[in-house]
Structure 1
């Protein structure tokens, strides 16, 4: 672990986050104290340049930080991902000479909290189409009407990125913009009562004529896949940071398993369960699975930072990382529960909470079906008509 990372996320801070995580989960409550401490550490300013008041981190360093935070509080890390994706996108675009989102980094340094209002129920086109109506206004702004789901950071965001479809012209266009907490015309539902990742408070957001002014409308793209750098930047940051969170979750489960089997003793043999051949096999399985994940996460994040040209393999690599991380973490948690005994089944168990939290991984884009389709097309070519 780097000195910078240990200073940003010292052990004492992680222990406080871990101690609070159980209460947030039980009360279905947002992580206000975690957020305050992390903001004070400069955590939300990681992607901004040091000369601008940030920490000057790249994606590899931010992913390492998120992996570490997720070992203590996965739901906190998952929600903060949304802010970090937007600041990461701004950072990657700026690296490539595009300053259209420079204000995101400036406002993040000033203390603003960014969130994603993109996901829509039933929209499997994700960023390539939208059910939200974007109505153009005479001054260049847009009015947005639609329903967005899984809006993490709902109690705390001050800037919400949204997009919708403008069908007023000859060709429909997808319009990307930001609104603020003070913008009229939206409602946040109190509907986040889930199995896991409860502290993220990813409530539904209903837009009913919310207006983004012209200076906060930052992209208009055609419907369907596009090579615009914005799409790659969102995808790269979103998938990599998701993978980092679930990697940290799996890492913590393995730590708990190792500690537990050393503590538990067999009444039959008098030895710790760490000496049981079957349990040793399961722990080894979990460790091998995690060992394959760490270098994949680090390498892909580093390649994004360095602008490595993977061409048509970039999207397969990113979706493959996300699916591998979420599925590996789920497998590891399951293995560890099997060696940890019935205590993990009781409310309040950290391992039981990780078991519930890890299930959320299958619902984040890209899902397994989409990922396999993307990767198959990259290697085999598209399906024939």
Structure 2
């Protein structure tokens, strides 16, 4: 495990200020503007950018630790920032492999730009392997994008939207175009984010109405379908590791709250603290056993990405499995924490109540449970025979 000290990047006082705002952000269903401002001032948007460009020069393994820490204070803030960090992480994955296509992302992150993630589309279970958004080429090499993206985190504040769309100019050889568009009148962000949990992410629906990516912001052209292109690996790997990190951070906070509650609640029946109750002790032990297993998994796989390890055909199974296990374990841990805390945790004023709502979102991110199981089954059994 890493000896990296996350408090040097995300100090305790900053974390506590972010924590103090989380309940109001959730209740008011708004974006945590203050959190973003403080994180930007602290250089957090550039933690994955090399020092040569003015960033912190951290690897994915260190970023994963930081995101766990941030999520323990404000899960929605951490999840929103995740989407920006995905693009800076992809930039580094590509750069490590000799591809400099996303240098502008690294430089932009240092300059305070906020990069959002515009991949998800309603009903499109192909995700990275296809798109219902049309990409129309320009003579100068740019593209116009028309379509609708969903779950666009950072909806009110992003400055650049990384997305994909399908160019069918040659119907015999369609191409998926990965590019970045700025926020202009050709991009409409709906104010439609009113959800059960993760309310602060403001992951609003984004309508693209001929939004233009200039030629120097068109970064990759790849064939639809499963593809070995580094951008596909980069997006999937960084996305899954950072998602696992956020939900692991939620699990840690729930565990801490359960321990705190057990230490301070006293049984009327026995006169002893709940921490002496064998059933409570068993529940907290179960929570800790599940939580402890997540940390080395995240660290090991993140380091493999940083070190360019070769897992071959097993990469996607291991990445989707990591995210799936982290989310399932986090939900189990929050469930147990609610039982330890008792009926008071059912009130909306309880932090555990918010964590319970936030952790549910994990099941809906790629890879969802069905996709994760299909990917792992294919890795072990081969594809389904027709």
TM superposition score category, shorter chain reference: over 0.9
Distance in 1 (CA, whole Å) between partners of 2:374 and 2:140 is: 42
Aligned to 1:145: 146
Q: Say whether residues 1:383 and 2:384 are aligned partners.
A: yes
Distance in 2 (CA, whole Å) between partners of 1:185 and 1:50 is: 35
Report matched runs for 1:252-263 at 5 Å: 252-263=253-264
* Deviation (angstroms), 1:184: 3.1
8 Å contact kept, 2:4–2:62? no
Aligned to 1:54: 55
* Deviation (angstroms), 1:382: 1.1
What SS class does the counterpart of residue 127 from structure 1 fall into? helix
- Structure 1 residues 110-129: Cα deviation after superposition (integer angstroms, max 9, x where no partner): 11110011100110000100
Aligned to 1:11: 12
Distance in 2 (CA, whole Å) between partners of 1:7 and 1:291 is: 23
Report matched runs for 1:235-384 at 5 Å: 235-384=236-385
Aligned to 2:181: 179
* Deviation (angstroms), 1:3: 6.0
8 Å contact kept, 1:119–1:126? yes
Give the stretch that moved more between structures: 46-55 or 194-203.
46-55
Distance in 2 (CA, whole Å) between partners of 1:141 and 1:229 is: 21
- Structure 1 residues 230-268: Cα deviation after superposition (integer angstroms, max 9, x where no partner): 100101100000000000000110000000011111101
Q: Say whether residues 1:95 and 2:122 are aligned partners.
A: no
* Deviation (angstroms), 1:214: 1.2
Q: Say whether residues 1:164 and 2:165 are aligned partners.
A: yes
Report matched runs for 1:59-208 at 5 Å: 59-169=60-170, 170-181=172-183, 183-208=184-209
Poorly superposed stretches of 4+, deviation over 4 Å: 1-4
Distance in 2 (CA, whole Å) between partners of 1:308 and 1:215 is: 30
Distance in 1 (CA, whole Å) between partners of 2:254 and 2:105 is: 35
Distance in 2 (CA, whole Å) between partners of 1:28 and 1:226 is: 38
Distance in 1 (CA, whole Å) between partners of 2:326 and 2:287 is: 13
Distance in 2 (CA, whole Å) between partners of 1:375 and 1:87 is: 27
What SS class does the counterpart of residue 316 from structure 2 fall into? helix
8 Å contact kept, 1:59–1:301? yes
Give the stretch that moved more between structures: 164-173 or 285-294.
164-173
What SS class does the counterpart of residue 161 from structure 2 fall into? strand
Distance in 2 (CA, whole Å) between partners of 1:233 and 1:213 is: 22
What SS class does the counterpart of residue 128 from structure 2 fall into? coil
- Structure 1 residues 196-232: Cα deviation after superposition (integer angstroms, max 9, x where no partner): 0000000000011111111111111111010001100
Alignment size in residue pairs: 384
TM (norm. structure 1) is 0.98
Distance in 2 (CA, whole Å) between partners of 1:191 and 1:242 is: 23
Backbone CA RMSD of aligned residues: 1.0
What SS class does the counterpart of residue 196 from structure 1 fall into? coil
- Structure 1 residues 81-131: Cα deviation after superposition (integer angstroms, max 9, x where no partner): 000000000011111100011111011111111001110011000010001
TM (norm. structure 2) is 0.98
Aligned to 1:44: 45
Distance in 2 (CA, whole Å) between partners of 1:63 and 1:277 is: 34
